[in-house]
Chain A
Amino acid sequence: DIVMTQSPLSLSVTPGEPASISCRSSQSVLQSNGDNYLDWYLQKPGQSPQLLIYLGSNRASGVPDRFSGSGSGTDFTLKINKVEAEDVGVYYCMQALQTYTFGQGTKLEIK
């Protein structure tokens, strides 16, 4: 199975400041069609997870444009350009090649 490694595992951010989460896969998730099969999800406290980014860099419907995804192959980044209080929760990357696997999660809290 492909192993997904996130860093950091936790971060504390002042509202209005940027945040960045890294995700590395043990094998490339870039397919021959040019798509990276890598998603980002946010699980807010007490809620089901929600999709933020799919195929590495595409924002899901309704996701604010302060969220962006980048990267290719084995290295990916989720950026929040100005963190808001409602962004607290645990962020997960997930690869979607055949058998899917999640990263360990990154807990974001507000300072």
Chain B
Amino acid sequence: QVQLVQSGAEVKKPGASVKVSCKTSGYTFISYGVNWVRQAPGQGLEWMGWVSTYNDDTNYAQKMQGRVSMTTDTSTRTVYMELRSLRSDDTAVYYCARDSRLYTNFPYSHYGMDVWGQGTTVTVSS
């Protein structure tokens, strides 16, 4: 079955970096892009960005520009999200989610984020 399995919880100090992995299985890796979405405690969902597993194109939320990088490793079917210069307000659960989108610009297909990872808790605290 289709699965996205994320790496375990992280505790980081302010100013550090974190790299979360999302290992995929059960489908053709390069046929779907991956989004990253986060949720601060008690808050709503916040889209962070998207990466194409087909050509490594990325599209980041403006708020995240300069601090986030999303990369792929086709050999291990894994997608990574690295967030740098961590602050206390980066404390959140981070989710990866599959998306049929493969290109940055229109036209691109989008059939929703249909499969999600289990979430990775990142705590930023001194």
Residues of A participating in the B interface, judged by any CB pair closer than 8 Å: 1, 31-33, 37, 39, 41, 43, 48-51, 53-55, 58, 60-61, 90, 92, 94, 96, 98-105
B112 touches A51 (CB 8 A): yes
A54 touches B110 (CB 8 A): yes
* A60 CA / B113 CA spacing, docked (Å): 10
Interface hub of A33, A41, A58 (most chain B Cβ within 10 A): A41
Q: Convert B94-105 into 0s and 1s, putting 1 for each residue whose CB lies closer than 8 angstroms to a CB of A.
A: 010100010011
Secondary structure at chain A's binding surface: helix, strand, loop or mixed?
Answer: loop
A104 to chain B, nearest CB (A): 5
**Number of CB contacts from chain A to chain B under 8 A:** 70
Supposing A49-B45, A105-B44 touch, asked if A31 and B106 sit within 8 A by C-beta, the answer is yes
B18 to chain A, nearest CB (A): 19
Which residue of B is nearest A104, CB measured?
Answer: B44
Q: Does B47 contact A (CB under 8 A)?
A: yes
- Give the residues in chain B near A48, CB-CB below 8 Å: 95, 116-119
Which residue of B is nearest A97, CB measured?
Answer: B106
B4 to chain A, nearest CB (A): 9
A55 touches B35 (CB 8 A): no
* A37 CA / B117 CA spacing, docked (Å): 22
A50 to chain B, nearest CB (A): 7
- Give the residues in chain B near A41, CB-CB below 8 Å: 45, 113
Interface hub of A37, A39, A100, A105 (most chain B Cβ within 10 A): A100
Interface hub of A48, A51, A94, A105 (most chain B Cβ within 10 A): A48
A92 touches B45 (CB 8 A): yes
B45 touches A39 (CB 8 A): no
